[in-house]
């Protein structure tokens, strides 16, 4: 699955793309060969599909957003309706007329497939197509191009279970081939060179699951350890920790070890906390102010563990909360 040599070049001299432009037809004389990978910047796909609209990012951000991931000042990182996590939903005001912005293609995989079919008709070649867009990355500064749409190739190589040159079994190696191709192509396309299409020759791509497009590159929510920004995560914990009636679920389904973990996470505290043997309640003993403050923190900690607490029930020496699972 590797090659010692790749050729990558940008396709120069392309005309301006407008709504209705057949991108594949533009490449009929580009010298493509079977097995090439054609990487197309999403901006011209958006232009060809009529996704150039009047207004600003702020005008269209809400409609292009499925979920807000993080906010800092005026910057919003959001999940788009495609499942992509991007700044400002990928809405772009660069290289478009003043007063206009480009929205991402509605279905980048379908766009890639349409370009691939067009190349088959107009250039008579069997190639793979990647639709790329620029993204930032967690933990890393700077931007890079990634694959948001694909057709005709596997965008993921899962090498888990294979052996390396020393005989070690690979346990976590899943290669984002689609993103690597998009990033490599951007080295010749650039951000300022007005070269929106690149060709990669000599890459031994596979097609085992190519019908899935670029979707395998999107991390499942259940595997995402950083699904929310810090402030939004705290806000969600507070929201989920709202008191609920203890009639929403059976207390017998509570795992006492989980409740213990929640209690330990807020120690040290200025009150005495006692967990019921079945984990179904926590009693706090101490001054009213300290009890209220501590149980508020406990509710948030329980929410982080997938549990909720009822409204505190006053006792002679403090208060008790009932623990129940979050109703999903």
**Residue-averaged pLDDT of the chain:** 90
Of the candidates 298, 288, 292, the one whose C-alpha atom is nearest the C-alpha of residue 323 is 298
The conformation of residue 13, written as its DSSP 8-state character, comes to -
Of the candidates 139, 149, 153, the one whose C-alpha atom is nearest the C-alpha of residue 208 is 153
Domain covering 7-51+105-223 in this structure, CATH number: 3.30.1330.100
CATH class of 230-325: alpha beta
Two structure tokens written together for 236? 């969600």
Contact 270, 107 (CB under 8 A): no
Residue with tokens 């929201």: 239
Distance separating alpha carbons of residues 161 and 130, to the nearest angstrom:
27
**How much is the pLDDT for 244?**
55
Worst-scoring range by mean pLDDT, 132-141, 232-241, 277-286?
232-241
- Could you read off the pLDDT of 115-140 as tens digits, one per residue? 999 999 999 999 999 999 999 988 89
Distance separating alpha carbons of residues 158 and 211, to the nearest angstrom:
16
For the chain, where do the domains classified as CATH 3.40.109 start and end?
A: 230-325
Q: 3-state class of 151 per DSSP?
A: strand
Distance separating alpha carbons of residues 254 and 276, to the nearest angstrom:
11
For the chain, where do the domains classified as CATH 3.30.1330.100 start and end?
A: 7-51+105-223
Q: Is the pLDDT of residue 275 over 50?
A: yes
**How much is the pLDDT for 71?**
86
- Could you read off the pLDDT of 166-197 as tens digits, one per residue? 888 887 788 999 999 999 999 999 777 789 99
Distance separating alpha carbons of residues 291 and 269, to the nearest angstrom:
9
Q: Is the pLDDT of residue 326 over 70?
A: no
- Could you read off the pLDDT of 191-231 as tens digits, one per residue? 777 899 999 999 999 999 999 999 999 998 888 888 888 77
Q: What b-and-e string marks burial along 175-211, b requiring 16 or more CB atoms within 10 Å of the CB? A: ebbbbbbbbbbbebbeeeeebbbbbbbebebeeeebe
Contact 115, 151 (CB under 8 A): yes
Greatest distance between any 2 Cα atoms in the chain: 86
User: For the whole model, what pTM was predicted?
Assistant: 0.74
């Amino acid at each position: 699955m590797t090659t010692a040599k790749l050729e990558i070049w940008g396709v120069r001299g392309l005309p301006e793309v407008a709504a209705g432009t057949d991108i594949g037809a533009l490449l009929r004389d580009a010298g493509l060969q079977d097995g090439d990978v054609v990487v197309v910047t999403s901006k011209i796909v958006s232009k060809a599909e009529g996704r150039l609209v009047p207004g600003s990012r702020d005008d269209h951000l809400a409609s292009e957003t499925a979920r807000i991931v993080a906010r800092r000042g005026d910057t919003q990182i959001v999940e788009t309706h495609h499942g992509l996590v991007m700044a400002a939903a990928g809405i772009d005001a660069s290289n478009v007329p003043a007063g206009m912005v480009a929205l991402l293609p509605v279905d980048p995989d379908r766009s890639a497939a349409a370009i691939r079919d067009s190349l088959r008709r107009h250039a008579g070649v069997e190639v793979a197509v990647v639709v790329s867009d620029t993204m930032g990355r967690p933990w890393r500064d700077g931007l890079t191009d990634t694959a948001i749409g694909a057709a005709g190739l596997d965008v993921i190589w899962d090498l888990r279970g294979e052996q390396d040159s020393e005989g070690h079994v690979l346990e976590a190696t899943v290669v984002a081939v689609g993103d690597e191709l998009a990033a490599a192509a951007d080295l010749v396309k650039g951000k300022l060179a007005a070269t929106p299409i690149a060709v990669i020759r000599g890459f031994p791509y596979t097609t085992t699951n190519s019908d899935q497009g670029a979707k395998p590159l999107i991390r499942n929510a259940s595997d995402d350890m950083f699904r929310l920004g810090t402030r939004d995560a705290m806000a969600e914990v507070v929201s989920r920790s709202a008191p609920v009636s203890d009639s929403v679920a059976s207390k017998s389904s509570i795992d006492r070890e989980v409740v213990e973990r929640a209690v330990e996470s807020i120690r040290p505290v200025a009150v005495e906390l006692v967990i019921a043997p079945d984990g179904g309640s926590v009693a706090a003993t101490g001054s009213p102010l300290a009890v209220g403050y501590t149980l508020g923190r406990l509710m948030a900690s329980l929410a982080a563990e997938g549990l909720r607490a009822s409204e505190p029930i006053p006792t002679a020496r403090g208060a008790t909360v009932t623990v129940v699972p979050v109703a999903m």
